[in-house]
Each structure stands twice: as C-alpha cells, then as structure tokens.
C-alpha cells in the first residue's frame, strides 16, 4: 500500500496486516465442511468471533478508514468497525 498506491496518507487510512492474520486464524479453526466456499471480509469474520475493538488494527486511529473498492459501502459492518466511503 505505502509504496505502490498512495504513500503515507493512504497508509494512515488503512489497517495493519494483523487483521488478515487474525481473520485467517479464525477461519482455519472452523470445521471446513461448515465454513467453506464463501466470500469473507476480515472484519466480518472477526465480528462473528466477538471482536468489537477494531482500532487495534488501524495504522492511525485518528484517521478515517477508506473503503476497499471491492467492498459494498452499503453492506452492514460489525459492531466497532467503520469506514469512510471514499476512493
């Protein structure tokens, strides 16, 4: 993100890679026959696991998050997760 896309300003509006690692861990701990074949978002997976403090994943908690272009800005977000619809 920093080098290829938007530099430091975009990094401030992004999350740390640890959110993906934690979501992957939650997915891998589920029975594969019950939890497969779907499109999953890291904050949705973690929200289902009871995570409500997503600020720990932010590069800069004082900056508003930008929505990923692949995420529907009208989709419901888990408690504690938010973003600014900006591109």
**In which region does residue 68 sit, left (phi positive, over 0), alpha (psi from -120 to 50) or beta (all else)?**
beta
Its pTM stands at: 0.76
Report domain extents, the chain.
Answer: 1-87
- What's the rounded Cα separation, in Å, for the pair 60 and 17? 13
Q: Is the predicted pLDDT of residue 78 greater than 50, yes or no?
A: yes
Q: Please tell me the least confidently modeled range out of 43-47, 51-55, 78-82.
A: 78-82
Residues 49 and 15 sit within 8 Å (Cβ to Cβ):
no
How far is residue 35's CA from residue 30's CA, in Å, rounded to a whole number?
7
């Amino acid at each position: 993100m920093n080098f290829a896309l938007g530099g430091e300003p975009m990094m401030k509006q992004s999350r740390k890679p640890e959110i993906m690692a934690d979501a992957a861990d939650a997915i891998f701990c589920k029975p594969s026959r019950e939890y497969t074949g779907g499109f999953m978002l890291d904050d949705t997976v973690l929200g289902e696991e009871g995570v409500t403090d997503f600020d720990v994943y932010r590069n800069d908690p004082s900056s508003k998050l930008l929505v990923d272009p692949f995420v529907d800005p009208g989709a419901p977000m888990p408690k504690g997760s938010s973003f600014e619809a900006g591109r």
